[in-house]
A and B are shown apart, each in its own frame.
Chain A
Amino acid sequence: MKRTVPLLISAVTGFILIGTAFIPMFEEWGNDAMAWFNLLAAFAFILGGGNLLKMQLQKISAQQAGWGYAAVTLIAFFVTLFVGLAKVGVHPNAKFPEFSWSGNYLEVGSAFWWFFEYIFTPLSATMFALLAFYISSAAFRAFRAKNTEATILLIIAVIVLLGRTYASEWLTGGFPNEPIFGEGGITYSDFKLDHLSQIIMDDFTTPGMRAIKIGIALGVASTSLKVLLGVDRSYLGSDQEA
Chain B
Amino acid sequence: MHLWKNVVIERLMIPLLCFAAGMAQSRADDPPKAKQLAPPTQFRAEDVDGDAGTAIDLFWTLSPDDEEDTKPRKVLRYVISRKQIGGSEEAVVLESGSPFVFEVEEKKPEFEEIGEATYRKDTFRDSNCETGVPYLYRIQAFGPDNAASPTVELKEPIIATLQWFNLQRSWFAVFVFLICGAVIVFIEMARRGKTLKIRKIAGLEAIKDAVGRATEMGRSCLFVPGIQDINDIQTVAGITILAQVAKTTADYRATLEVPTSRSLVMTTARDTVEAAYLQAGRPDEYNEDDIYYITDEQFGYVASVTGKMVRDKPAACFYMGAFYAESLILAETGNSVGAIQVAGTAMPTQLPFFVAACDFTLIGEEFFAASAYLSGEPQQLGSLKGQDFGKLIGGILLLAGCLIMTISAFESRGEPPAEGKETVLQSAQIYLKENILGKGGFKP
Contact = CB atoms under 8 A, between A and B. Distances in A.
Contacts of A227: 236
Interface residues of B, number: 88
A136 to B, nearest CB: 10
Contact of B166 (A23, A124, A213): A23
Interface centre among A21, A37, A237 (most CB of B within 10 A): A237
A41 to B, nearest CB: 6
22 contacts: A22-B166, A22-B172, A24-B162, A40-B264, A41-B229, A52-B295, A58-B289, A66-B311, A215-B365, A218-B387, A218-B390, A219-B387, A221-B180, A225-B184, A225-B383, A225-B386, A226-B371, A232-B240, A234-B276, A235-B272, A236-B271, A238-B279
A51 B275 contact: no
A60 B277 CA distance: 29
A242 B331 CA distance: 33
Interface string A212-230: 1111101111111111010
What 7 A-B pairs come out closest when comparing CB atoms? A237-B271, A219-B368, A48-B263, A238-B275, A215-B365, A234-B243, A44-B263
Nearest to B347: A216
Interface string B363-407: 111011101100100011001101100110010000000000000
A229 B164 CA distance: 25
Contacts of B45: none
Contacts of A212: 348, 351, 363-364
Given A23-B166, A24-B50, A235-B268, A222 B329 contact: no
Interface in B172-199: 172-173, 176, 179-180, 183-184, 187
Interface string B324-367: 01001101100000000000001010010101110000011101
Nearest to A134: B332
Interface in B227-247: 229, 231, 233, 236-237, 239-240, 243-244
Given A45-B263, A218-B179, A237-B274, A242 B283 contact: yes
A142 B356 CA distance: 6
Nearest to B263: A48
A58 B384 CA distance: 44
A25 B278 contact: no
A130 B368 contact: no
A23 B170 CA distance: 11
Contacts of A124: 297-300
**Which applies to chain A's interface (DSSP): helix, strand, loop or mixed?**
helix
A137 interface: yes
Contacts of B363: 212, 215
A138 interface: yes
Interface in A35-53: 37, 40-41, 44-48, 51-52
Contacts of A41: 229, 262-264
Contacts of A135: 328
**Which applies to chain B's interface (DSSP): helix, strand, loop or mixed?**
helix
Contact of A216 (B183, B267, B348, B371): B348
A24 B386 contact: no
Given A28-B52, A45-B263, 7 more contacts: A47-B263, A47-B267, A124-B299, A134-B357, A227-B236, A236-B271, A237-B275
A66 B307 contact: yes
Interface centre among B180, B276, B379 (most CB of A within 10 A): B180
B287 to A, nearest CB: 10
Interface of B: 50-53, 162-166, 169, 172-173, 176, 179-180, 183-184, 187, 229, 231, 233, 236-237, 239-240, 243-244, 262-264, 266-268, 270-272, 274-279, 283, 286, 289, 292-300, 302-303, 307, 311, 325, 328-329, 331-332, 346, 348, 351, 353, 355-357, 363-365, 367-369, 371-372, 375, 379-380, 383-384, 386-387, 390-391, 394
B52 to A, nearest CB: 4
Contact of B163 (A24, A138, A242): A24
Contacts of A134: 328-329, 332, 357
Contacts of A47: 263, 266-267, 293
B65 to A, nearest CB: 38
Interface residues of A, number: 63
A128 B299 CA distance: 7
A209 B300 CA distance: 30
Contacts of B270: 237
A32 B411 CA distance: 51
A222 B307 contact: no
A17 to B, nearest CB: 10
Contact of A24 (B51, B231, B274, B328): B51
A165 B62 CA distance: 42
Given A22-B169, A214-B391, A223 B375 contact: no
B126 to A, nearest CB: 16
Contact of B165 (A22, A215, A229, A240): A22
B51 A123 contact: no
B328 A225 contact: no
A12 interface: no
Contacts of B356: 138-139, 141-142
Contacts of B272: 234-237
A9 to B, nearest CB: 13
Nearest to A238: B275
A213 B413 CA distance: 33
A191 interface: no
Given A212-B364, A223-B233, A231-B380, A23 B263 contact: no
